[in-house]
Amino acid sequence: MRRYKMLFSGLVMVGAGAYLFCASPLWFVWLTGCFLWCVGIAVGIAGAAVPLFVLQEPVPPTGFFMGRVANPTIMPSRQVPIEVLLLQIENHVRLEQAAAESFLAFPTHDHLHSKTPSPLVN
């Protein structure tokens, strides 16, 4: 659809130009209609030619490198080897313990509900 955008624009300009040319008795509107009509035909022809003769380059997907570079900390759990997963769990337990120790040393609401940087839950 995006390829024919120019063609549609040309057709709209031709239509608008023809309307102004026929409908208005004022000379400057008549001239504007005439101009729009001519430019519309040019744009329409160009719009029809571009998709036919110009080869489009493939558009790289968004986040091109995301699918290729493995990030060991945020890989989906199904892809993570079990040894890595167990290490992540251990790391998570250690972080949670540190957070709990911090709460016990200074029991405040903020310490109790502080966010963990553990990749297991983020």
Partner 1 sequence: MTHELLSGLSSAEAEQVLALGTRVIVPGETSLFRLGDPADRLFLVERGRIRLTLPMPVRGREENIFVEERNPGQAVGWSALIPPYRFTLTASAALSEAKVMALPREALLKHFVENPEAGYKIALNLAVVIGHRLQLFQTMWLREMQRTVEVRSA
Binding interface with partner 1 (CB under 8 A): 82, 85-86, 89-90, 93-94, 96-97, 99-101, 103-104, 112-113, 116, 121
Q: Smallest distance from the beta carbon of 93 to partner 1, in angstroms?
A: 5
Nearer residue to partner 1 within complex by CB, 68 or 78: 78
Q: Smallest distance from the beta carbon of 104 to partner 1, in angstroms?
A: 6
Whole-angstrom distance, CA of residue 75 vs CA of residue 66 = 11
Whole-angstrom distance, CA of residue 8 vs CA of residue 20 = 18
Nearer residue to partner 1 within complex by CB, 45 or 100: 100
28-31-36-41 Cα dihedral, nearest 10 degrees: 170
Q: Smallest distance from the beta carbon of 67 to partner 1, in angstroms?
A: 24
The greatest distance separating any two alpha carbons of the chain, rounded to the nearest whole angstrom, comes to 87
